[in-house]
A and B are shown apart, each in its own frame.
Chain A
């Protein structure tokens, strides 16, 4: 599938009706989501024929993108049942067979080794400090091949240090810097549209890790 085609399919997905600020529910735009999964597939072969988990999947954009690019099994995990309803509808509309699990990533029970790749657009931790690092820590415990994630560019050094030192990643690499346009979703947003610089990361878990949690 071509990048343009992927982006256009993702652009038609239904997004949050009433985003919840405490969960930092920002939709992953089609521009970012398509580039993230397209890179994972075409530069690293981490998607097609793989088992892919989408952490904090929200309306399922990244998981849908993985399925469209030929992932054999996709699981979307989210704490919010309303998001999961929209995500299942999105998958159904595109005739994609995606599994969803309602859970809190931070106390997930999961057997390791089976998931190849985790993709995620975690809460950036602006509301609940450290939320994105909690997600990353769990992702690196269950993925056997790679973790793709978005983090604010301002936190780049911190993310790298935490991944390599605290979560035992064998590598942590910024693939590119993207602009995340956060529309005025919430009342506390003063400007109509704000661009946030985010890094697209690829982490490789240590071999023999991924034992599960």
Chain B
């Protein structure tokens, strides 16, 4: 699972008001190379929750994203390459996503998070 997917998922357990972002429990990370697409990254930049991406990439062992950003950074190839790597190339292969409010664990196996809720959570 790429961190772009993580940047969209949230915990939807009954009663939870802010299920985003899910915390990462990391057992295994896989890197897969993806072609660099600057236009796509420029598009994504305004849609991404930056802090969630930074925290998630750090949990995955990648610490090169800056805490603060400004639009002018998009002119820098170096910045875009880091953004590209964190967003698309790092995969959580084994581990879990943790609901920020309840601590409920959603396991990730073979890169697939299981977000199914139990009957009493719906």
- Give Cα A114–Cα B10 distance, bound, in whole angstroms: 13
The reply to whether B2 and A104 form a contact with Cβ atoms under 8 Å apart is no
Interface residues of B in 3-23 (CB under 8 A from A): 4-5, 7-12, 19-20
* Interface class of chain B by DSSP: loop
Contacts of A101 on B, CB cut-off 8 Å? 1, 5, 9, 112-113, 115
Question: Interface 1/0s, chain A 49-81, versus B by CB < 8 A?
Answer: 101000000000000000000001101000101
Partner of A111, one of B2, B20, B43, B110: B20
Assess whether B114 is interfacial by the CB under 8 Å rule.
Answer: yes
Interface range, A side: 20 to 34
Q: List residues of chain A with CB under 8 Å of any chain B CB.
A: 49, 51, 72-73, 75, 79, 81, 84, 88, 97, 99-104, 107-111, 113-115, 212-213
Given A75-B8, A109-B11, A111-B49, 17 new contacts (CB under 8 A): A49-B40, A51-B4, A72-B40, A73-B5, A97-B34, A99-B1, A100-B111, A102-B113, A103-B115, A103-B116, A104-B116, A110-B9, A110-B10, A111-B8, A111-B20, A113-B47, A114-B47
